[in-house]
Structure formats: C-alpha cells, structure tokens
Amino acid sequence: MAERVRAGEAEHVGEAVHLPGPSYLPVTTAAGLAITVVGVVHSWIFVVIGGLIAIFSIVRWIGQTRADISELPLEH
C-alpha cells in the first residue's frame, strides 16, 4: 500500500522549464522582410528601409536571446 503525501511535503521532481518572455521582435522582423520584398517590386527605397528594420530587429532579437540564456543556471 502506498503512503499518502500531503501537498507541500513532496520533493520537487524534474527540472524547471524555462520559457522566454513575450517579444515584439519576431513581428518587426517579419514586417521588415515584407517591406523589403515589396520594395523589390516597387522601389529600392523600400528595400533599404525594410532591410534596416529587419537587421535592427534581428540584432535586438539576438541580443535579447543571449541575455536570456546568460540568466540560465550552469549546472545543467
């Protein structure tokens, strides 16, 4: 027969799951790429503007991810 364990008395099983926080950067990256693609058809100015938006968003996204990863525990 199994012993009953009350809530709060049991040991924690497994490891904590880390999920990144919400971010607007994937949307701005997609918007920048969409503007770039539209610019290929219409004008090189849209290509430049969309490319700058996409590059800025990607750099920020990488920086945010690196900062998030640096906060993880090393004992994994």
- For the chain, give every domain's residue range: 25-69
Whole-angstrom distance, CA of residue 36 vs CA of residue 51 = 6
| Stretch among 20-24, 25-29, 39-43 having the lowest mean pLDDT | 20-24
| pLDDT tier for residue 30 given thresholds of 50, 70 and 90 | very high
Mean per-residue pLDDT, 29-55? 97
Residue 57 has pLDDT above 90, yes or no: yes
Q: Are 47 and 36 in contact (CB under 8 A)?
A: yes
More confident residue, 23 or 73: 23
Distance of CA 66 to the CA centre of its chain: 10
| Mean pLDDT taken over the chain | 87
Report the share of the chain in percent with pLDDT over 70: 82
Q: Six-digit token pair at 41?
A: 């058809």
